[in-house]
Amino acid sequence: MTEKSPLFFIYLLVQALFFIFFLVVTRIISSKKIVPWKAPIFKEYAYLNLIFFNLIFIHIQKSLILVAHQVAQGVDKYYFYLLFCIILVLIPYYRIRVKLFIRKQEETK
């Protein structure tokens, strides 16, 4: 059995850190009003981001495997950029949902 390189584990760490960094940065930038971390809106946003970040990392892994076997040329740039654009669109989506969430809380008071 072959030994695994430490780089194998670094990849997983980078994936987790990238997601956490993006989540914190978008929370700081996109919302001036504080929304509790346990609010359903924040959980929804976190899950959506996690899905799209995992799609990006899955695409990178698939591309690396295909390049290693000399089957493909590399990363499909159109798909890769499309996933990043979708993630960037989630920022205004989150901002709108936060405003609606806050309005709903104010109406119920």
Kindly state whether residue 2 falls inside one of the protein's structural domains.
no
pLDDT in tens, 43-79: 787 788 788 888 888 888 888 778 777 787 777 888 8
Query: What is the pLDDT averaged over residues 84-89?
Result: 84
The closest alpha carbon to 31, from 103, 92, 107, belongs to 92
First to last CA, the chain: 63
Kindly state whether residue 49 falls inside one of the protein's structural domains.
yes
Is the pTM for the entire model greater than 0.85? no
CA distance 34 to 45: 15
The count of structural domains within the chain is: 1
Dihedrals phi, psi of 3, to nearest 5 degrees? -85, 145
Q: Which residue range is the domain that position 62 belongs to? A: 37-109
Kindly state whether residue 29 falls inside one of the protein's structural domains.
no
